[in-house]
């Protein structure tokens, strides 16, 4: 993440239940394994989407190859996230779902 100038001060993994009482506009899954799991019922009936990205922890190769692969995945996620930030959130849910699907295909 340092190669992408993304600070990683004390990263932690969080379970979805930590956010169970917050309303969401959208929920996006990234891991294909997670996409096959049942999603919890999120407050506010958010639009949901799946952005299929490979999990770098399963990538084979040398340490340098694994790092390069991880950077490529992170760069794709950065592009998708910028698209998410740039979305017109005043659109109706059907249009938002279509736009989130499009971002997932980047």
Distance CA 52, CA 54 (A): 7
Q: Evaluate if pTM is beyond 0.75.
A: yes
Q: How much is the CA Rg of the chain, to the nearest whole Å?
A: 15
Model confidence pLDDT, tens digit, residues 78-101: 999 999 999 999 999 999 999 999
CB-based contact 54:64 (threshold 8 Å): no
pLDDT of amino acid 47: 93
Calpha distance 34→37 (Å, rounded): 5
> For position 34, what pLDDT does the model report?
63
In the three-class reduction of DSSP (H, G, I as helix; E, B as strand; rest coil), residue 59 is classed as coil
Domain ranges of the chain: 23-104
């Amino acid at each position: 993440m340092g190669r992408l100038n993304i600070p990683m001060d004390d990263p932690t993994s969080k379970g979805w239940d930590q956010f169970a009482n917050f309303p969401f506009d959208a929920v996006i899954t990234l891991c294909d394994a997670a996409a096959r799991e049942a999603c919890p019922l999120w407050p506010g009936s958010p639009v949901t989407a799946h952005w299929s990205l490979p999990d770098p922890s399963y990538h084979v190769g040398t340490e340098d190859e694994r790092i390069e692969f991880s950077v490529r995945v992170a760069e794709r996620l950065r592009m998708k996230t910028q698209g998410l930030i740039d979305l017109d959130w005043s659109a109706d849910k059907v249009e938002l779902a279509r736009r989130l699907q499009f971002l997932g295909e980047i």
